[in-house]
Structures are given as C-alpha cells and as structure tokens.
Amino acid sequence: MICPKCKCEIPDDSKFCSFCDKKIKGKKVFFRKTKKVVASDKKTEANENLTFSKKIKFFGALLLTLLIVFLIIYMVLKLNEVSGTKSAKELSEYINEPILTARNEIDIHLLEESNFDGVNCSVKFDYMVESEKDIKIDGVKYPQWAVFIVLNDNDEIAKVQYTNYKILKKHHKGIKVDEEINLNKFSKGNKFKKISNEIDIEPFSIVYENGYVKHIYKYYFVNSHKDEQAMILSVISNEKNEFQSSVTERVYEVWST
C-alpha cells in the first residue's frame, strides 16, 4: 500500500508508516496511478501514430496532385504539338485544290524553304512544314520530320510527302532488320494493315498523290557476305487502304575514285 502522508510504499498490513510514523487507519489501500500513466502513454503513442499517418496521407496526396498536374501539362503540350503525319494527312485532303484554299482553311504555317540546308539541297518542293526540333545525320542538321508540298502549273496541290528523318538518325541506311522483306504472299486488294503488320517497321516517307498513298521504307540487313545491304521498299495503296503494288530496290554505295 501507499502511505497517505509521505506516499512511500509500505506493506499492506502495516499499522504505522515505517518512514514517517503516520498511523494507518484501517487497511485502505492506496494504489499507484499506474493505469492512468499507461493510458496516457498509449494515448501519446496513438497520437504520434495518428500524426505520422496524417503526414503519410498528406505527402501521398501532394505527390498524386503533382503527378496529375504534370500529366495535364504533358497532354496539353502534346495536343498543341504539330504532328508531321497529321499535317500531311490534312494537306492531302486538298490535293487538286488551290494551295490558297488549304492555307486559309488549315491552321498550319507553310514555309517556302526549310531552315535546314540539308533539306533545301536534297528535296524539291514549293511549300513545306517542318519540326522545330532537329537531329544530326552524319554531322548535318535536319528537322526531325518534314512535310513537302508540290504544286502543279495551276498552283494546285499535286503531291504531299511526309518524311521522318528520325529513322536515319542511327543509320543512314534506315532501320536494321533480320532479312529482306518479302511481300510476295500478298495480292492486290489485300488490306494495307496486313501488309503494314508484315513489314513491321515505321515508314521513312508517306506520299499522297492522285488518289494513291505510297509508303516508303528504308531498311538494311546483313547479307550472306556479311555486308550491310540497304533497301528501299515502296508499297502503294488506294484511298480504301487496299494494297495495289510494291517495289523493292537495292541501294548500293557509290565509291568515287
């Protein structure tokens, strides 16, 4: 028991406190307030756990909010980014129509010449659209992509050509494949999607002209002589995306002496 005067612990059957000689009336026991102390400790621990949990939830919510904001910004930038394939497709809708009509109806800024000498020296065109981002191919700067427009004598759009220069970034011969691509099993009228799945590489160029679409692929493979054989594959389809024909050309390096 606890002495009511000095609060010291004494035997339960004590009549006098051995510390302060206080007479103990009856055998009323005074217990230490251990339960309250334990309860207080538990409450403190619970509060600490609750505070920690709140911090975790706060930082989790903050991280999620930042992620959502980042995704929104990314999506807005992607939507506002000019796409080469989209621009070419839109312009192809105006084939055989005056270029002035296309310029007035499409929100695309057409250029009369490229900002890159490599393009101006290698491609003939009347107007063009190109990526603001550039890449280097064999030390020469090119746009990542470009759309070329060729007019007829009446200033009408005769041809629209999309070119993806990024394909040539790693190798000027195009994309590396295991072997020569063979389309002999396909016949006229097959869906172009089947041919595209068989080829299984991205086209270097897409040409729209006279109701036909030509997909041009640049690729290379290592032949039996351990040489890198460059190839150009052209696949023509109609407006219904039906396969019409294909042409394969071997490209050989020209050595000057």
pLDDT given for residue 252 in this prediction: 84
The CA-to-CA distance between both ends of the chain, in Å, stands at 114
Gap between the Cα atoms of 174 and 157, Å rounded: 29
Percentage of the chain with pLDDT > 90? 59
| Residue at 206: amino acid letter | I
pLDDT given for residue 58 in this prediction: 78
20/228: higher pLDDT: 228
Check: CB of residue 149 under 8 Å from CB of residue 106: no
Gap between the Cα atoms of 161 and 29, Å rounded: 100
pLDDT given for residue 203 in this prediction: 96
Residue 217 has pLDDT above 70, yes or no: yes
pLDDT given for residue 151 in this prediction: 97
**Residue labelled with tokens 């064999």:** 138
**What's the whole-number mean pLDDT along residues 212-240?**
95
**Residue labelled with tokens 């160029």:** 205
Residue 57 has pLDDT above 90, yes or no: no
Average pLDDT, the chain: 85
In the three-class reduction of DSSP (H, G, I as helix; E, B as strand; rest coil), residue 210 is classed as: coil
pLDDT given for residue 76 in this prediction: 44
pLDDT band at 256; cut points 50, 70, 90: very low
pLDDT in tens, 13-55: 777 777 777 777 765 444 455 445 455 566 666 666 667 777 7
Residue 61 has pLDDT above 50, yes or no: yes
**What's the whole-number mean pLDDT along residues 176-200?**
96
pLDDT given for residue 257 in this prediction: 44
Q: What DSSP character marks residue 203?
A: -
What is the enclosing helix (H) or strand (E) of 243?
strand 243-251
pLDDT given for residue 12 in this prediction: 76
pLDDT band at 110; cut points 50, 70, 90: very high
Non-local (6+) Cβ contacts of 176 within 8 A are: 219, 220, 221
Residue 237 has pLDDT above 60, yes or no: yes
**What's the whole-number mean pLDDT along residues 152-159?**
96
pLDDT given for residue 37 in this prediction: 47
Residue 131 has pLDDT above 80, yes or no: yes
Residue 94 has pLDDT above 90, yes or no: yes
